[in-house]
Chains A and B, each alone.
Chain A
Amino acid sequence: MTTQTLGHIFRSWPCQNAIVALLLVFTAAFLWKLSRREYWRLAARELRSRKGAMVCAAILCLYASIAVLDSVGWRSPAIDPTTGNIIRVNGHVVLDEGRSVLDRLLQPLANRREKTYSAPLGTVQFTKSTVKGRDGRMHRVNEPLAFPRSHLLGTDMIGQDVLLQALKSIRTGLIIGLLTTLLAVPFALLFGLCGGYYGGWVDDVVQYFCTVLSSIPNVLLIAALMVVWGQGLPQLCVAMGIASWTGLCRLLRGETMRLREADFVSAATAQGVPGWKILLRHILPNVLHIVLINLVLRFSSEVLAEAALTYLGMGVGAGTMSWGTMINDARTELTRNPVIWWKLCAAFTFMLGLVLPANIFGDAVRDALDPRMRTQ
């Protein structure tokens, strides 16, 4: 099976829906399992007592639900644009490419296409065009919009609504922020725990790989991977995952080495519990907080990195909507006179709206999970 057909299956709607459902079920199961432990219940209570953190969590949930709505979808019968009827071939209904739930909700917004730029809530086009007047002469006027006062954040060069683009970019941002670390976690856990627990040559090998990988500055490692693989969202996630797992691996290795000397591990060893069972039952639950802290703290920097990388030509590429591509477009728009500022402002606001709450919430989670902080 080639990677192309794999990618095709991966991008099909049933598969995407299944992945979203699996992720949600897994997260719920994980949280339920954690909630039965005293340590995590205390941390959750600590977190709930902070009003600011809870407001941030609510904003993050809003973003997440938009991203989920944009990831779940289905194919519907294709409609002939001229007649408005469902297309049938030999009596069989033909299906279209399929759209996500968010696409379907925002369909009115997508239908309100203009010809070119227009300011937020504007009534006329931004650029002047030559129109034949009633008196038969040619005039240079700002043509009225097809849908005046309906574009909250204006429209872009090809007349697309900027709000729609900013909303569609949320999914890309969240995938970059979450998937990158989620891809890195299994590797970091496996190598970090094994290196820390078994020591000896296992540890030497793990340490050597970590040192080699972390010796290459992240940007250039990502650049090299993206040059070799080409631009795209999946490639970017994997490249950023490869660049980021060594830090977490180091942390986990250190913590495992500390836990290996703990009394409860010695007790388990004395009772003849095999090594892998000690790792799974006794050490893994005790390093989970490091993984979680790492996940929330990395999130915002990954979202920010996407914008910079896309600008540098090693990001998601022009085909995928993201805040990076929006900022990239905005650069030429700012050199025009008068300035077209709304696309940049929209991307900036939506990005800040995600990254700022993520940063504040991340700090709160770290404080709540770190027992040293709690006692203060």
Chain B
Amino acid sequence: MARYFLRRILYFIPTLLGVNLFVFLLFFLVNTPDDMAKQALGEKASTPEQVLRWKAARGYDVPYFWNAQAPGIQRVTKTIFWQKSLRLLWGDFGASDMSLEPIGAELRRRIGPSLCLCVPIFLTSLFVNIVVAMLVASRHGTRLETCAQFLCVTTMSISALIYIIAGQFVFAKELKLVPVSGFLPGWDMLRFLALPVAIGVVGGLGSSVRFYQTLFLEEIGKDYVRTARAKGLPETRILFLHVLKNAMIPILTTVPVQMLMLIMGSLLLENFFSIPGMGGYTISAIAAQDFAVVRAMVFLSSVLYMVGLLLTDLCYALVDPRVRFS
């Protein structure tokens, strides 16, 4: 078990370095620091001195990979790649290109609201999806199943934007059940988060229910379910204890994928509902062409995703002993 994990973590490091280098090349090969300065200062209005000053204030006035003028170890460290990219590896995000404020402090402020939105969506949808999928699977071959399948495809075919706009319009503007947008800490949060969480759950319902349902049907067709039925176990016990336990393995593998979807979903949700989270930060950075923030967010999200994959493997090894011993 420990050796299995050590191996997985050792795989993790080259990937991390690869992502780091990829993000660096992506941002600096197409747009040189000169281009970024001109873009920020205005294409025509910028004088060469202004460009130099802009670059110096943000630390872009050094070579990319090798600084021949600097003494000793600084030949490597006084470069853009080291200062702007490699430092991300140990969580040093640097400063925003636009406001010059440290990105790390901003992220610490914003991670709370983001989690307040993501975690309830994730847990609620996992629960709702499993219950609905189980219900549909247990009515296999009936008209209810056909209806449910059509509903799933229909909800999958509607853009997330429509859910948000329609939800906001009906529940906040017309019925006035919840505030339209905004965020307050403490218990007030519940009022502001109720609608975004509900929309997040409904938006992801279709595809997950369909996927879980096929998993459950596969398990229900197996011999142990027939045995349990022959033994006279109640149906709910069979479904939620025996079938669910076995179907949980493939469901666990979708957890990081769902976390991935949550980043997309919460980008939209945070933007529409003015929740001061990481998604909103990314969107405003994209709108303001703040390359430093976008770079940091791309790297941070891929690190989170890789950690998610690592956790999946851990769960896998815990529930399925075959993985541990191979």
Contact = CB atoms under 8 A, between A and B. Distances in A.
Given A313-B283, A334-B169, A359-B153, A211 B298 contact: no
A333 to B, nearest CB: 10
B74 interface: no
B287 interface: yes
A304 B153 CA distance: 13
B18 A212 contact: yes
Contacts of A217: 260, 263-264, 301-302, 305
Interface bin, chain B: 35 or more
Interface in B251-285: 260, 263-264, 267-268, 271, 282-283
A211 B165 contact: no
Nearest to A216: B302
B264 A308 contact: yes
Contacts of A314: 286
B293 to A, nearest CB: 10
Interface in A320-349: 323-324, 327, 330-331, 334, 339, 344, 348
A215 interface: yes
Given A312-B286, A327-B165, A344-B165, A220 B158 contact: no
Nearest to B256: A217
Contacts, number: 117
A228 B298 CA distance: 13
A308 B14 contact: no
Interface in A209-239: 211-213, 215-221, 223-229
A208 interface: yes
B153 A360 contact: yes
Contact of B160 (A218, A221, A226, A304): A304
Nearest to A352: B157
A360 B27 CA distance: 39
Contacts of B165: 327, 330-331, 334, 344
Interface string B71-106: 000000000000000000000000000000000000
Given A217-B263, A224-B23, A225-B26, A359 B298 contact: no
A351 interface: yes
A208 B153 contact: no
B31 A307 contact: no
B271 to A, nearest CB: 7
A363 interface: yes
A314 B297 CA distance: 15
B118 interface: no
B15 interface: yes
A304 B265 CA distance: 13
B157 to A, nearest CB: 4
A211 B15 CA distance: 7
A9 interface: no
B283 A312 contact: yes
Interface bin, chain A: 35 or more
A21 interface: no
Which label, helix, strand, loop or mixed, suits the secondary structure of the A interface?
helix
A46 B194 CA distance: 46
Contacts of A216: 19, 22-23, 298, 301-302, 305
Contacts of A313: 283, 286-287
Contact of A220 (B31, B154, B159, B301): B301
Given A208-B18, A344-B165, A308 B160 contact: yes
A224 B23 CA distance: 8
A268 interface: no
B306 A223 contact: no
B19 A212 contact: yes
A198 to B, nearest CB: 21
B162 A223 contact: no
Given A330-B165, A344-B162, 18 more contacts: A208-B14, A216-B302, A219-B264, A219-B267, A220-B301, A221-B298, A224-B23, A227-B289, A228-B26, A311-B161, A312-B267, A312-B271, A327-B159, A352-B154, A352-B157, A355-B158, A356-B153, A360-B153
29 contacts: A212-B22, A215-B19, A215-B305, A216-B23, A217-B260, A217-B263, A217-B301, A219-B263, A219-B264, A219-B267, A220-B282, A220-B297, A220-B301, A221-B298, A224-B294, A224-B295, A225-B26, A308-B264, A313-B283, A313-B287, A323-B159, A331-B165, A344-B165, A352-B157, A352-B158, A355-B158, A356-B154, A356-B157, A358-B157
Interface of B: 14-15, 18-19, 22-23, 26-27, 30-31, 153-154, 156-162, 165, 169, 173, 260, 263-264, 267-268, 271, 282-283, 286-287, 289, 291, 294-295, 297-298, 301-302, 305-306
Interface of A: 208, 211-213, 215-221, 223-229, 300, 304, 307-308, 311-314, 323-324, 327, 330-331, 334, 339, 344, 348, 351-352, 355-356, 358-360, 363
